[in-house]
Amino acid sequence: MKRLMRYLKEYKKESVLAPLFKLLEAFFELLVPLVMANIIDIGIANTDMGYVTKMGFCLLALAIVGLVSSITAQFFAAKAAVGFSTRLRQALFDHIQGLDFTNIDRAGTSTMITRMTSDINQVQSGVNMVLRLFLRSPIIVFGAMIMAFTIDVKSALIFVVAIPLLAIVVFGIMMWTMPLYKKVQGGLDKVLGVTRENLTGVRVIRAFHKEEEEERKFREYTAALADSQTFAGKISAVMNPVTYVIVNGAIIALIYTGAIQVNVGTLTQGEVIAIINYMSQILVELVKLANLIITITKALASADRVAGVFEIRNEEQAAGLEGIPGSAASAGSEKGVPFLEFDHVSLTYAGAGAETLQDMSFTVNRGETIGVIGGTGSGKSSLVNLIPGFYPVTGGAIRLEGKDIRSLPEDTLRNRIGVVPQKAVLFKGTIRSNLQWGKPDATEEEMWQAIDTAQAREVVEGKDGKLDAKVAQSGKNLSGGQRQRLTIARALVRKPEILILDDSASALDYATDAKLREALRSLEGNTTTFIVSQRASTIRHADKIIVLDDGEMAGIGTHDELLAACGVYQEIYYSQYPDERKAEG
């Protein structure tokens, strides 16, 4: 929690004024029993209605000032808590955006969402309650005890016994419930995870008629969450009745001792009423404090979970860049240095038992088209995901113009690269707003040029509003091929130095695919293109073709060279063009 408090720095004034006004309210509240004692002992005892009226107006004044102080405190507390949670949520989102895919995969999307929403809301409630009540309640409790001592020491000794007992109950339950609320939030992660999975894969679930099985799984997770919430709630619920028992027992003791002392004349009736009022104030405040402790317990559990995300660091952030070859060596591109070089690169995913990619070594010159082909699971997407640094290499190095990409600022590296991922993802808005992801200040001419290259003109012109046509969330109002062409156009708008097409034309027909490849070859600006595909026809005209087999490089060369010497490439190619094998045979 301490680490998160830095996001409260901009609200120092509110964080000080909120408890101060609450203390002012508490001070006026502590005066009420004394005024009541005077009304009983002086006004009523002497039948002095003028005095009773005057003290009544005094009570009204105390109430008004206390109300104004309370409203002011609540305003400042709410302003500080909401501002704090806004800054914290933004910082958490920014941190997650900076994590590489390895760390995001390890943490899990559902967990990230829970911590950014539910957990931060719990922390916000905790901060709000602390600013409002954390000082007020103890001041009322100890202030009431001190005021009781000023009235009668013997009666006040009952407070000395009751308050430690209450403290033991409150803090004991707090220590018990804190790990329980952590478990509750973990259960919420699981429920969110299975919900997200079901909503994302609803078509698959229905296609395989797995609705009942998924409903059963969801019920199991929600039942487990409900059980853990119920158990934690039962423990927390014990706090109020136990505090009531202790305080009401103390009130009985006060009435008994007070009655005896009134009978012998050492205490007045008004003073007994004042002492009982102080004990009642303690009761009310301890109920508030009990609820505060429950809220703080939840907030601390959630704060630990949020802080846990901030502790996740990319490997280069944790270790620094000093040990990375090329991080300081090459201030600029040297003559004879390849544009892009893979130097004995290996990749092992977090938690994986074996390497996904092994000993990848090749060079790429500026402007070349590189095809990447291989069987399912051979590591094609993993290979191209290393170039923008989505996953950190676990062995070897990737150099861009002689510099290790880990030494380059993330923005600098990725601004030079255009990526079209395997899954075509569009965002809710318009076609124009989606294309501007590639370049925010892109002109219409640049957009149409990218659209033409991506063979998407008919898609855009066929929509009402053309560039301003609406795009639904995830592009659900477009077909798979239309989404793929628009995602390619989005990458082309920025005119990248390196263009990565990760099996991004799989939904296109052969004629459109051929036109797209022809347009890509005529791109201006010496763009280096990586094309990942299962189709041999898509990559056969590439300057170099990298053939992968189970994470290893089975061959590299042109189509003709590989067809003559690479058995894996022959198998892939002839499985798609069996007639050519027959013709050769």
Amino acid sitting at position 188: L
Write the Ramachandran bin of 389: left for phi over 0, alpha for psi from -120 to 50, otherwise beta.
left
pLDDT value at residue 68: 92
| Beta-carbon-side half-sphere exposure of residue 388 (alpha carbons within 13 Å) | 26
| Contact assessment for residue 44 and residue 269, using Cβ atoms and an 8 Å cutoff | no
CA 427 to chain centre: 19
Distance CA 292, CA 517 (A): 64
Domains of the chain (ranges; CATH) run: 3-316 (1.20.1560.10), 335-416+528-585 (3.40.50.300)
List the beta bridge partners of residue 438: none
Whole-number Cα distances in Å, 559 to 60, 362, 544, 570: 93, 17, 8, 10
List the beta bridge partners of residue 556: 546
Distance CA 489, CA 432 (A): 11
List the beta bridge partners of residue 420: 501
pLDDT value at residue 315: 65
pLDDT value at residue 137: 78
pLDDT value at residue 408: 87
pLDDT value at residue 545: 92
Burial-class residue 298 by CB neighbours within 10 Å (0-12, 13-18, 19+): buried
Strands 395-400, 403-404: pairing kind: antiparallel
Contacts of 460 (CB under 8 A, 6+ apart): 431, 451, 466, 467, 469
Radius of gyration of the chain (CA): 35
List the beta bridge partners of residue 363: 341
Strands 429-430, 395-400: pairing kind: unpaired
What are φ and ψ of residue 98, in 5° steps? Answer: -85, -5
Amino acid sitting at position 88: L
Strands 357-364, 498-502: pairing kind: unpaired
Tally of CB atoms within 10 A around 213: 11
pLDDT value at residue 345: 92
pTM higher than 0.75, yes or no? Answer: no
Q: Write down the residue that tokens 């798609």 correspond to.
A: 576
| Contact assessment for residue 364 and residue 339, using Cβ atoms and an 8 Å cutoff | yes
Here the tokens at position 3 are 């680490």
Mean pLDDT (10-residue bins), the chain, 585 residues: 79 89 86 84 82 88 90 92 92 86 77 85 89 81 81 79 80 79 80 83 86 90 89 82 82 82 80 82 75 79 85 63 46 65 88 82 90 87 89 89 88 87 86 87 88 88 87 84 88 89 79 83 80 85 90 89 88 82 58
| Contact assessment for residue 557 and residue 566, using Cβ atoms and an 8 Å cutoff | yes
The four Cα atoms 66, 68, 69, 75 give a dihedral, to 10 degrees, of 140
Burial-class residue 560 by CB neighbours within 10 Å (0-12, 13-18, 19+): exposed
| Contact assessment for residue 272 and residue 262, using Cβ atoms and an 8 Å cutoff | yes
Contacts of 299 (CB under 8 A, 6+ apart): 1, 122, 123, 125, 126, 127, 129
pLDDT value at residue 328: 41
Distance CA 398, CA 453 (A): 29
List the beta bridge partners of residue 549: 552
Here the tokens at position 113 are 């969402």
| Contact assessment for residue 47 and residue 53, using Cβ atoms and an 8 Å cutoff | no
pLDDT value at residue 399: 92
Question: What are the strands of the beta sheet with 498-502, ordered from one edge?
Answer: 417-420, 498-502, 528-532, 369-374, 544-549, 552-557
Question: What are the strands of the beta sheet with 340-347, ordered from one edge?
Answer: 357-364, 340-347, 395-400, 403-404
Distance CA 510, CA 514 (A): 6
Amino acid sitting at position 7: Y
Instruction: Identify the CA nearest to 417 among candidates 492, 511, 357.
Output: 492
pLDDT value at residue 23: 86
Distance CA 553, CA 361 (A): 9
| DSSP codes of every residue in 66-118 | HHHHHHHHHHHHHHHHHHHHHHHHHHHHHHHHHS-HHHHHHH-HHHHHHIIII
In the DSSP assignment, the letter for residue 428 is S
Instruction: Provide the terminal-to-terminal Cα distance of the chain, rounded to the nearest Å.
Output: 73
